[in-house]
Structure 1
């Protein structure tokens, strides 16, 4: 009888400890991005140093990983300095956005003269800063032209490797960000307000509802952009 009671107490203690451990689980989540240019970092490595568990951010830079209080989470991405955080919460979801810094490297120091617009100068500077990623060629499929099922050998240097995915997605995000910056450099609130006389919330609503296409702006002279904004404003005002 005494052994039975001891066994029950031991089992009860184990279950209690297990329940505490389960309750102590925390879901750490957030986004990972470049600190200076605010570009999201896809396929960034997220490692729980305390448990060895690893996950990766998605194409939008969003990550999620399980942890316990005081666990150390390490974040790393190709060409960036790794960063870490300590889990604070005891349970539930802990949101921690992470900003990584580009590793120090010797830049060429491009001489940007007065012949460049502010957008062009910034674009040249950004292109130089991220050249170490953008200039790397995309690796071919493993096995070259070998047909599928004919003994393809996968290596860590193929397009399916984590670093290759990081690089490819970063190039897409960088290109998209450059397009948006070009649009913002020409389709400014001050310029649109001058054409339409809109201000405040009305101006913001108009610009949100009438967002020009990058390719269109690239070939559109400033005079034609004024006509485009005027036509959009007349239609917007009617509605």
Structure 2
């Protein structure tokens, strides 16, 4: 009990001297809130919420260090209690990731072109129409109208071959889409941005795997921002 009393006597002055400061972090250009930004002071570390807000302890004079991946780090000296909520705007900057060595890295664009060439017939497949099998012919005289029949096209139209070819094309397109996603949403990139590993990394990769349409709309900065925001949600258990 005596040791606990002495310990409390030691830390109470520290907490008494520290004061709570509040603020909001937004993007310099869009003015949108930045979620998950790190706020570091001499008294500890906190992160911004979905609205970009934060509450931190500071001992004046103190220095706030604000950082978020994809943005330039910001240092804000605080000589005294600002008295009002801080309005902090951070600027986008160059993203630098640690080097990742991957043995046997393939050229995605070259592989994609090769894949398209290899299955050119399947990718260009169009299901047969009835007009491909049956069409008008020259008049047979006396006002009679004749038609021509393409036996091969008619057979394809009437059998399941066309459905089978359509399913094959769909599978090839799905496979190509997955290759495209894997090229941009890599395990190495996610691991470095989130610091996840093992089963947690596998679960995150499966749960937050983007669609090919989403990947096409995002640039590199936006993809990393998506991973970062998803990691905040993932760690919160939502």
Task: With the length of structure 1 as denominator, give the TM-score of the two structures.
Answer: 0.44
Q: Could you say which structure has the larger radius of gyration?
A: 2
Task: With the length of structure 2 as denominator, give the TM-score of the two structures.
Answer: 0.45
